Amino acid sequence: MTAAERSGATSVRGAVLETVGQPVVITDLELIEPRAGEVRVQMLASGVCHSDLHVRDGEWDRPTPIVMGHEGAGIVEGVGPGVASPSIGQLVALSWLIPCGVCRSCRRGHVWACPDSPSYRHALLDGTAPYTRDTPHDRAGEPVRAYCAISTMAEAAVVPAAAAIPLPEGTDPAVAALIGCCVTTGVGAVLKTAGVPAGASVAVIGLGGVGLSCVMGAVVAGASRIVAIDRVDAKLEAARAVGATDTILAGDHAAATIEALRDLTDGGPDFVFEAIGRVDTAELAIGALPLGGTAVLVGMTPLGARATFEVYPFVDGSRRILGSNYGFAEPAIDFPRYAAWTLDGRLPVERLIDRRIGLDDVEDAFAAMRRGQYTRQVIDFAR
Protein backbone atom coordinates (compact mmCIF):
# COMPACT_ATOMS: atom_id res chain seq x y z
CA MET A 1 0.00 0.00 0.00
CA THR A 2 1.40 3.40 -0.93
CA ALA A 3 1.50 6.38 1.41
CA ALA A 4 -1.14 7.95 -0.81
CA GLU A 5 -3.54 5.06 -0.30
CA ARG A 6 -2.91 5.02 3.46
CA SER A 7 -3.72 8.74 3.79
CA GLY A 8 -6.89 8.60 1.69
CA ALA A 9 -5.17 10.52 -1.07
CA THR A 10 -4.61 8.71 -4.34
CA SER A 11 -1.56 8.03 -6.41
CA VAL A 12 -1.45 9.39 -9.97
CA ARG A 13 1.17 9.71 -12.68
CA GLY A 14 2.10 13.18 -13.86
CA ALA A 15 4.64 14.92 -16.11
CA VAL A 16 6.87 16.82 -13.67
CA LEU A 17 9.29 19.57 -14.62
CA GLU A 18 12.00 19.27 -11.96
CA THR A 19 14.30 21.96 -13.34
CA VAL A 20 13.69 24.32 -16.23
CA GLY A 21 15.66 23.36 -19.30
CA GLN A 22 15.67 19.67 -18.31
CA PRO A 23 13.34 16.96 -19.66
CA VAL A 24 10.04 16.42 -17.84
CA VAL A 25 9.90 13.19 -15.85
CA ILE A 26 6.83 10.98 -15.51
CA THR A 27 6.50 10.63 -11.74
CA ASP A 28 4.17 8.95 -9.23
CA LEU A 29 2.48 11.61 -7.12
CA GLU A 30 0.03 11.72 -4.24
CA LEU A 31 -3.01 13.84 -5.03
CA ILE A 32 -5.04 15.35 -2.18
CA GLU A 33 -8.79 14.88 -1.89
CA PRO A 34 -10.90 17.90 -2.98
CA ARG A 35 -11.61 20.30 -0.13
CA ALA A 36 -14.07 23.23 0.05
CA GLY A 37 -14.31 24.95 -3.34
CA GLU A 38 -12.26 22.26 -5.11
CA VAL A 39 -13.07 19.44 -7.51
CA ARG A 40 -11.19 16.36 -8.60
CA VAL A 41 -11.00 15.80 -12.35
CA GLN A 42 -10.05 12.54 -14.00
CA MET A 43 -8.13 13.79 -17.02
CA LEU A 44 -9.25 12.46 -20.40
CA ALA A 45 -7.13 14.60 -22.73
CA SER A 46 -4.43 17.26 -22.61
CA GLY A 47 -3.16 19.26 -25.54
CA VAL A 48 0.52 20.11 -25.84
CA CYS A 49 0.71 23.90 -26.26
CA HIS A 50 3.79 25.91 -27.13
CA SER A 51 3.39 27.71 -23.79
CA ASP A 52 4.31 24.38 -22.13
CA LEU A 53 7.45 24.33 -24.26
CA HIS A 54 8.33 27.93 -23.26
CA VAL A 55 8.15 26.78 -19.62
CA ARG A 56 10.04 23.53 -20.24
CA ASP A 57 12.82 25.40 -22.06
CA GLY A 58 13.16 28.04 -19.32
CA GLU A 59 11.99 30.98 -21.44
CA TRP A 60 9.53 32.01 -18.74
CA ASP A 61 10.11 32.18 -15.03
CA ARG A 62 8.08 29.43 -13.31
CA PRO A 63 8.49 27.62 -9.97
CA THR A 64 9.57 23.97 -9.89
CA PRO A 65 8.93 21.15 -9.28
CA ILE A 66 5.65 21.53 -11.14
CA VAL A 67 3.21 19.21 -12.92
CA MET A 68 2.97 20.53 -16.47
CA GLY A 69 0.00 21.15 -18.77
CA HIS A 70 -2.68 23.82 -19.06
CA GLU A 71 -4.93 22.67 -21.94
CA GLY A 72 -7.08 19.83 -20.67
CA ALA A 73 -10.46 18.27 -20.15
CA GLY A 74 -11.84 15.46 -18.05
CA ILE A 75 -14.67 14.09 -15.97
CA VAL A 76 -15.47 15.41 -12.51
CA GLU A 77 -15.09 12.48 -10.13
CA GLY A 78 -15.21 14.25 -6.79
CA VAL A 79 -16.40 17.57 -5.38
CA GLY A 80 -15.49 19.24 -2.11
CA PRO A 81 -17.96 20.87 0.32
CA GLY A 82 -19.86 23.90 -0.97
CA VAL A 83 -19.29 23.30 -4.68
CA ALA A 84 -22.45 24.19 -6.65
CA SER A 85 -20.91 23.54 -10.08
CA PRO A 86 -19.62 21.42 -11.69
CA SER A 87 -21.11 18.15 -10.50
CA ILE A 88 -19.82 14.60 -10.46
CA GLY A 89 -19.87 12.94 -13.88
CA GLN A 90 -19.79 16.17 -15.92
CA LEU A 91 -17.31 16.73 -18.74
CA VAL A 92 -15.32 19.88 -17.99
CA ALA A 93 -12.71 21.91 -19.84
CA LEU A 94 -10.15 23.51 -17.55
CA SER A 95 -9.43 27.24 -17.58
CA TRP A 96 -5.82 28.30 -16.98
CA LEU A 97 -6.89 31.65 -15.61
CA ILE A 98 -9.41 32.28 -12.87
CA PRO A 99 -9.81 35.93 -11.91
CA CYS A 100 -8.81 37.30 -8.49
CA GLY A 101 -11.98 39.40 -8.53
CA VAL A 102 -10.50 42.45 -6.83
CA CYS A 103 -7.71 43.85 -9.04
CA ARG A 104 -8.22 46.78 -11.40
CA SER A 105 -8.69 44.50 -14.45
CA CYS A 106 -11.22 42.33 -12.65
CA ARG A 107 -13.15 45.35 -11.36
CA ARG A 108 -13.46 46.55 -14.97
CA GLY A 109 -14.66 43.11 -16.06
CA HIS A 110 -11.46 42.43 -18.00
CA VAL A 111 -10.91 39.12 -16.26
CA TRP A 112 -8.54 37.83 -18.98
CA ALA A 113 -6.06 40.56 -18.02
CA CYS A 114 -6.02 39.77 -14.27
CA PRO A 115 -2.38 40.01 -13.18
CA ASP A 116 -3.10 38.62 -9.71
CA SER A 117 -4.88 35.47 -10.82
CA PRO A 118 -4.46 32.70 -8.25
CA SER A 119 -3.82 30.46 -11.27
CA TYR A 120 -0.45 32.19 -11.67
CA ARG A 121 0.58 30.94 -8.22
CA HIS A 122 0.42 27.38 -9.62
CA ALA A 123 -1.30 26.15 -6.47
CA LEU A 124 -4.76 25.82 -4.98
CA LEU A 125 -6.56 28.92 -3.67
CA ASP A 126 -5.04 28.65 -0.18
CA GLY A 127 -1.57 28.43 -1.70
CA THR A 128 -1.05 24.71 -1.10
CA ALA A 129 0.23 22.41 -3.80
CA PRO A 130 -2.22 19.62 -4.73
CA TYR A 131 0.52 17.02 -5.14
CA THR A 132 3.30 15.53 -3.08
CA ARG A 133 5.88 13.05 -4.25
CA ASP A 134 4.85 9.48 -3.69
CA THR A 135 7.01 6.81 -2.09
CA PRO A 136 9.42 5.35 -2.99
CA HIS A 137 11.25 8.53 -3.89
CA ASP A 138 14.29 10.08 -2.28
CA ARG A 139 12.29 13.29 -1.78
CA ALA A 140 8.96 11.61 -0.88
CA GLY A 141 6.52 14.04 0.71
CA GLU A 142 7.88 17.11 -1.08
CA PRO A 143 5.07 19.34 -2.43
CA VAL A 144 4.76 19.55 -6.23
CA ARG A 145 2.91 22.49 -7.76
CA ALA A 146 0.28 22.39 -10.52
CA TYR A 147 0.87 24.55 -13.59
CA CYS A 148 -1.79 27.31 -13.65
CA ALA A 149 -3.55 25.36 -10.87
CA ILE A 150 -4.84 22.79 -13.40
CA SER A 151 -1.80 20.56 -14.26
CA THR A 152 -3.47 18.81 -17.18
CA MET A 153 -0.50 16.50 -17.84
CA ALA A 154 -1.48 14.20 -14.98
CA GLU A 155 -3.94 11.34 -14.79
CA ALA A 156 -6.04 13.37 -12.34
CA ALA A 157 -5.98 16.84 -10.80
CA VAL A 158 -7.65 18.65 -7.92
CA VAL A 159 -8.48 22.15 -9.15
CA PRO A 160 -10.45 25.22 -8.00
CA ALA A 161 -14.10 24.61 -8.95
CA ALA A 162 -14.13 27.93 -10.84
CA ALA A 163 -11.52 26.54 -13.24
CA ALA A 164 -13.67 23.53 -14.26
CA ILE A 165 -16.23 24.62 -16.85
CA PRO A 166 -18.98 22.15 -17.84
CA LEU A 167 -19.35 21.59 -21.57
CA PRO A 168 -22.34 20.41 -23.61
CA GLU A 169 -22.93 16.68 -23.75
CA GLY A 170 -21.39 15.05 -26.79
CA THR A 171 -18.29 17.26 -26.89
CA ASP A 172 -15.23 15.18 -27.81
CA PRO A 173 -12.83 15.24 -24.82
CA ALA A 174 -9.81 16.05 -27.03
CA VAL A 175 -11.71 18.94 -28.60
CA ALA A 176 -12.76 20.03 -25.10
CA ALA A 177 -9.10 20.07 -24.06
CA LEU A 178 -8.22 22.39 -26.94
CA ILE A 179 -11.06 24.72 -25.97
CA GLY A 180 -9.14 25.11 -22.71
CA CYS A 181 -6.34 26.99 -24.45
CA CYS A 182 -5.62 27.24 -28.17
CA VAL A 183 -9.22 27.50 -29.44
CA THR A 184 -10.24 30.11 -26.89
CA THR A 185 -6.98 32.01 -27.45
CA GLY A 186 -7.18 32.09 -31.25
CA VAL A 187 -10.92 32.34 -31.86
CA GLY A 188 -11.22 34.92 -29.07
CA ALA A 189 -8.33 36.99 -30.47
CA VAL A 190 -10.29 37.38 -33.71
CA LEU A 191 -13.85 37.73 -32.38
CA LYS A 192 -13.30 39.40 -29.02
CA THR A 193 -9.92 41.19 -28.94
CA ALA A 194 -9.93 42.42 -32.53
CA GLY A 195 -13.67 42.29 -33.24
CA VAL A 196 -12.94 41.52 -36.90
CA PRO A 197 -15.94 42.72 -38.94
CA ALA A 198 -17.47 40.73 -41.81
CA GLY A 199 -15.68 41.36 -45.08
CA ALA A 200 -12.32 42.32 -43.53
CA SER A 201 -9.08 40.80 -44.78
CA VAL A 202 -7.05 38.80 -42.27
CA ALA A 203 -3.55 37.31 -42.17
CA VAL A 204 -2.35 34.76 -39.62
CA ILE A 205 1.38 34.17 -39.09
CA GLY A 206 2.18 30.82 -37.46
CA LEU A 207 -0.18 27.88 -37.89
CA GLY A 208 -0.01 25.77 -34.75
CA GLY A 209 -3.10 25.20 -32.60
CA VAL A 210 -3.31 28.92 -31.81
CA GLY A 211 -2.83 30.24 -35.36
CA LEU A 212 -5.23 27.68 -36.87
CA SER A 213 -7.78 28.76 -34.26
CA CYS A 214 -7.30 32.35 -35.47
CA VAL A 215 -8.06 31.07 -38.98
CA MET A 216 -11.24 29.34 -37.73
CA GLY A 217 -12.23 32.52 -35.89
CA ALA A 218 -11.75 34.55 -39.07
CA VAL A 219 -14.11 32.17 -40.90
CA VAL A 220 -16.76 32.64 -38.18
CA ALA A 221 -16.25 36.43 -38.41
CA GLY A 222 -16.96 36.32 -42.15
CA ALA A 223 -13.55 37.60 -43.25
CA SER A 224 -13.33 37.98 -47.02
CA ARG A 225 -9.71 36.90 -47.33
CA ILE A 226 -7.80 34.73 -44.86
CA VAL A 227 -4.11 34.45 -45.67
CA ALA A 228 -2.26 31.77 -43.69
CA ILE A 229 1.53 32.00 -43.31
CA ASP A 230 4.02 29.46 -41.96
CA ARG A 231 7.52 28.23 -42.74
CA VAL A 232 6.30 24.59 -42.87
CA ASP A 233 4.42 23.49 -45.98
CA ALA A 234 2.15 20.97 -44.22
CA LYS A 235 0.80 23.76 -42.00
CA LEU A 236 -0.47 25.61 -45.06
CA GLU A 237 -2.55 22.55 -46.05
CA ALA A 238 -3.91 22.36 -42.51
CA ALA A 239 -4.91 26.02 -42.70
CA ARG A 240 -6.77 25.47 -45.98
CA ALA A 241 -8.61 22.56 -44.35
CA VAL A 242 -10.02 24.93 -41.69
CA GLY A 243 -10.88 27.79 -44.04
CA ALA A 244 -7.82 29.78 -45.15
CA THR A 245 -8.39 31.22 -48.64
CA ASP A 246 -4.70 31.79 -49.47
CA THR A 247 -1.33 30.69 -48.13
CA ILE A 248 2.25 31.94 -48.12
CA LEU A 249 5.26 29.76 -47.40
CA ALA A 250 7.50 32.06 -45.33
CA GLY A 251 11.20 32.04 -46.11
CA ASP A 252 14.01 33.98 -44.45
CA HIS A 253 13.08 37.30 -46.02
CA ALA A 254 10.30 39.21 -44.29
CA ALA A 255 10.15 41.70 -47.17
CA ALA A 256 9.17 38.91 -49.60
CA THR A 257 6.41 37.71 -47.25
CA ILE A 258 5.08 41.26 -46.86
CA GLU A 259 5.08 41.77 -50.62
CA ALA A 260 3.18 38.50 -51.22
CA LEU A 261 0.72 39.48 -48.50
CA ARG A 262 0.15 42.94 -50.01
CA ASP A 263 -0.47 41.36 -53.43
CA LEU A 264 -3.15 39.08 -51.99
CA THR A 265 -4.92 41.73 -49.90
CA ASP A 266 -5.09 44.90 -51.94
CA GLY A 267 -2.14 46.56 -50.22
CA GLY A 268 -2.13 44.77 -46.86
CA PRO A 269 -4.54 42.88 -44.59
CA ASP A 270 -6.88 44.81 -42.30
CA PHE A 271 -5.85 42.51 -39.42
CA VAL A 272 -2.64 40.53 -38.92
CA PHE A 273 -2.44 37.95 -36.12
CA GLU A 274 1.02 36.92 -34.91
CA ALA A 275 0.66 33.42 -33.42
CA ILE A 276 4.27 32.30 -33.00
CA GLY A 277 5.89 34.46 -30.32
CA ARG A 278 8.95 35.74 -32.21
CA VAL A 279 10.24 39.29 -32.36
CA ASP A 280 10.91 39.16 -36.11
CA THR A 281 7.39 37.97 -36.95
CA ALA A 282 5.83 40.52 -34.57
CA GLU A 283 7.75 43.15 -36.51
CA LEU A 284 6.61 41.55 -39.76
CA ALA A 285 2.97 41.74 -38.60
CA ILE A 286 3.32 45.46 -37.85
CA GLY A 287 5.29 46.10 -41.04
CA ALA A 288 2.62 44.51 -43.23
CA LEU A 289 -0.22 46.74 -42.03
CA PRO A 290 -2.03 48.98 -44.50
CA LEU A 291 -3.43 52.37 -43.46
CA GLY A 292 -5.74 51.82 -40.48
CA GLY A 293 -4.63 48.20 -40.10
CA THR A 294 -4.41 46.31 -36.81
CA ALA A 295 -1.70 43.90 -35.65
CA VAL A 296 -2.83 41.50 -32.92
CA LEU A 297 0.00 39.93 -30.94
CA VAL A 298 -1.06 36.52 -29.66
CA GLY A 299 2.23 34.57 -29.67
CA MET A 300 4.33 35.00 -26.55
CA THR A 301 8.07 35.64 -26.72
CA PRO A 302 10.68 34.72 -24.13
CA LEU A 303 10.57 37.21 -21.22
CA GLY A 304 12.44 40.44 -21.88
CA ALA A 305 12.20 40.33 -25.71
CA ARG A 306 11.73 43.71 -27.40
CA ALA A 307 10.45 44.60 -30.87
CA THR A 308 10.84 47.85 -32.82
CA PHE A 309 8.82 49.62 -35.49
CA GLU A 310 8.98 52.91 -37.33
CA VAL A 311 6.83 55.36 -35.40
CA TYR A 312 5.97 58.08 -37.94
CA PRO A 313 4.10 55.98 -40.53
CA PHE A 314 2.44 54.03 -37.73
CA VAL A 315 0.93 57.21 -36.29
CA ASP A 316 0.35 58.91 -39.63
CA GLY A 317 -1.50 55.84 -40.91
CA SER A 318 -3.60 55.37 -37.75
CA ARG A 319 -2.39 51.80 -37.34
CA ARG A 320 -2.96 49.78 -34.16
CA ILE A 321 -1.21 47.05 -32.14
CA LEU A 322 -3.29 44.96 -29.72
CA GLY A 323 -2.09 42.41 -27.18
CA SER A 324 -4.43 39.48 -26.63
CA ASN A 325 -4.23 37.31 -23.52
CA TYR A 326 -6.38 34.14 -23.57
CA GLY A 327 -8.55 35.56 -26.37
CA PHE A 328 -10.19 37.92 -23.86
CA ALA A 329 -11.80 34.81 -22.38
CA GLU A 330 -14.69 34.71 -19.97
CA PRO A 331 -14.41 30.93 -19.71
CA ALA A 332 -17.82 30.15 -18.22
CA ILE A 333 -19.45 31.97 -21.15
CA ASP A 334 -17.00 31.31 -23.96
CA PHE A 335 -16.08 27.64 -23.42
CA PRO A 336 -19.66 26.30 -23.81
CA ARG A 337 -20.25 28.66 -26.75
CA TYR A 338 -17.13 27.48 -28.58
CA ALA A 339 -18.03 23.86 -27.76
CA ALA A 340 -21.49 24.38 -29.28
CA TRP A 341 -19.79 25.70 -32.43
CA THR A 342 -17.67 22.55 -32.63
CA LEU A 343 -20.84 20.46 -32.39
CA ASP A 344 -22.65 22.34 -35.17
CA GLY A 345 -19.56 22.32 -37.43
CA ARG A 346 -18.71 26.02 -37.31
CA LEU A 347 -15.38 25.33 -35.59
CA PRO A 348 -13.78 22.17 -37.06
CA VAL A 349 -11.42 21.81 -34.07
CA GLU A 350 -11.04 18.04 -34.53
CA ARG A 351 -9.05 18.75 -37.71
CA LEU A 352 -6.32 20.37 -35.61
CA ILE A 353 -5.54 17.11 -33.81
CA ASP A 354 -3.02 15.16 -35.87
CA ARG A 355 -1.22 13.12 -33.24
CA ARG A 356 -2.52 11.28 -30.16
CA ILE A 357 0.13 10.30 -27.64
CA GLY A 358 0.52 8.81 -24.17
CA LEU A 359 1.76 10.67 -21.09
CA ASP A 360 5.19 9.08 -21.56
CA ASP A 361 5.58 10.80 -24.94
CA VAL A 362 5.55 14.42 -23.69
CA GLU A 363 9.27 15.01 -24.35
CA ASP A 364 8.93 13.50 -27.81
CA ALA A 365 6.00 15.86 -28.43
CA PHE A 366 8.12 18.85 -27.36
CA ALA A 367 10.87 17.79 -29.77
CA ALA A 368 8.35 17.53 -32.62
CA MET A 369 6.95 20.97 -31.75
CA ARG A 370 10.43 22.52 -31.92
CA ARG A 371 10.68 21.13 -35.48
CA GLY A 372 7.31 22.65 -36.39
CA GLN A 373 5.82 19.17 -36.83
CA TYR A 374 2.10 18.46 -36.15
CA THR A 375 -0.64 21.05 -35.73
CA ARG A 376 -1.83 19.86 -32.28
CA GLN A 377 -0.61 16.85 -30.32
CA VAL A 378 -2.99 15.55 -27.66
CA ILE A 379 -2.27 13.25 -24.74
CA ASP A 380 -5.05 10.67 -24.71
CA PHE A 381 -5.30 9.31 -21.15
CA ALA A 382 -7.64 6.51 -22.27
CA ARG A 383 -4.97 5.16 -24.59
Ligand X SMILES: NC(=O)c1ccc[n+]([C@@H]2O[C@H](COP(=O)([O-])OP(=O)(O)OC[C@H]3O[C@@H](n4cnc5c(N)ncnc54)[C@H](O)[C@@H]3O)[C@@H](O)[C@H]2O)c1
Query: Does 114 contact Zn ion by CB under 5 A?
Result: yes
Q: Which residue is nearest to ligand X (CB)?
A: 208
Q: Name the segment binding ligand X (CB under 6 A); options: 85-93, 231-239, 306-314, 360-368.
A: 231-239
Give dist(CA 21, CA 5) in Å, integer.
33
51 forms part of the interface with Zn ion (CB under 5 A): yes
- 210 near ligand X (CB under 6 A): yes
Return the residues of window 255-284 that contact ligand X according to CB under 6 A.
275-278, 281
Would you call 12 helix, strand, or coil by DSSP? strand
Considering the rule CB under 6 A, would residue 325 count as an interface residue with ligand X?
A: yes
Q: x/- site string to ligand X, residues 167 to 186, per CB under 6 A?
A: --------------xx--x-
Instruction: Please tell me whether residue 83 adopts helix, strand or coil conformation.
Output: coil
Closer residue to Zn ion in complex, CB, 51/301: 51
The residues that bridge with 165 in the sheet, in sequence order, are 93
Query: How many C-alpha atoms does 256 have within 13 Å on its Cβ side?
Result: 7
Question: Which of ligand X, Zn ion, none binds 103 (CB below 5-8 Å, type-dependent)?
Answer: Zn ion
32 binds, among Zn ion, ligand X, none (CB under 5 to 8 A by kind): none
Partner interacting with residue 114 (select from Zn ion, ligand X, none; CB below 5-8 Å by kind): Zn ion
DSSP one-letter string for 101-159: SSSHHHHHT-GGG-TT-GGGGTS-TTS--SEEEPSSSTTTT-EEEEGGGT--SBSEEEE
Residue in 210, 193, 194, 224 with CA at minimum distance from that of residue 293: 194
Instruction: Considering only CA atoms, give the Rg of the chain.
Output: 21
Part of the chain binding ligand X (CB under 6 A), chosen from 32-40, 149-157, 201-209, 330-338: 201-209
Q: Among 172, 230, 330, 334, which residue sits at the site for ligand X (rule: CB under 6 A)?
A: 230
Assess 181 for contact with Zn ion (CB under 5 A).
Answer: yes
> What letter would DSSP give residue 231?
S
Smallest separation (angstroms) from Zn ion to the CB of 107: 8
Of 10, 27, 46, 51, the one binding ligand X by CB under 6 A: 51
Note every long-range contact of 122-128, with CB atoms under 8 Å and residues 24 or more positions apart, other chains counting: 122/62, 122/63, 122/66, 122/146, 122/147, 122/148, 122/149, 123/149, 124/35, 124/38, 124/149, 124/158, 124/159, 124/160, 125/37, 125/38, 125/160, 128/32
Give the binding site for Zn ion (CB under 5 A).
Answer: 49, 51, 99-100, 103, 106, 114, 116, 181
Give the binding site for ligand X (CB under 6 A).
Answer: 49-51, 54, 181-182, 185, 205-211, 229-232, 235, 250, 275-278, 281, 298-300, 324-326, 369, 372
